[in-house]
Amino acid sequence: MAHENGTATAGGAPPGNSNAIRHGLTCAALPKGAGHVRVVTLNLRREIENAIMEARGEVSLYDACIVQTAVRWERVALLASLWLRREAMLTPDQRLNFSREVARASGERDKCLRLLGLHAKERQGAID
């Protein structure tokens, strides 16, 4: 972009604008019929990024990568839950494995939140 006088200006969102935290890290395509998983995970990403912005004022590249990992684990949990509900022909062992994956993915997501330092703020808010 350029001013009327022809000098160049920096592009991008102004400071404080949530568009400034967009980083280009995206999730892979989802299976047919799992569109709601995309909505839920995008909302989670937005909430985590907003919490980071509130705590630190910016989302670093490292933060963005940890957020992406947390969102990917949430996607695993949601997809495993979806398949557990949809697939009527699963054996008891397969059902148990899907259930374990939901729990494991949730734990891995929570590890990411701890890496971001978001757990301490939540815990402190609960005590207040």
The pLDDT of residue 80:
92
The pLDDT of residue 121:
56
Write the DSSP assignment of 21-74 as a string of letters: G-----PPPPPTT-HHHHHHHHHHHHHHHHHHHHHHSS--HHHHHHHHHHHHHH
Average pLDDT per 10 consecutive residues for the chain, totaling 128 residues = 48 52 54 86 96 94 96 95 88 93 96 90 48
Residue identified by tokens 């890290």 is 25
The pLDDT of residue 2:
47
- Output DSSP code: residue 13: P
The pLDDT of residue 24:
46
Whole-number Å distance between alpha carbons of 40 and 111 = 19
Encoding tokens for residue 102?
């939901």
Encoding tokens for residue 53?
């912005």
The pLDDT of residue 127:
40
The pLDDT of residue 87:
85
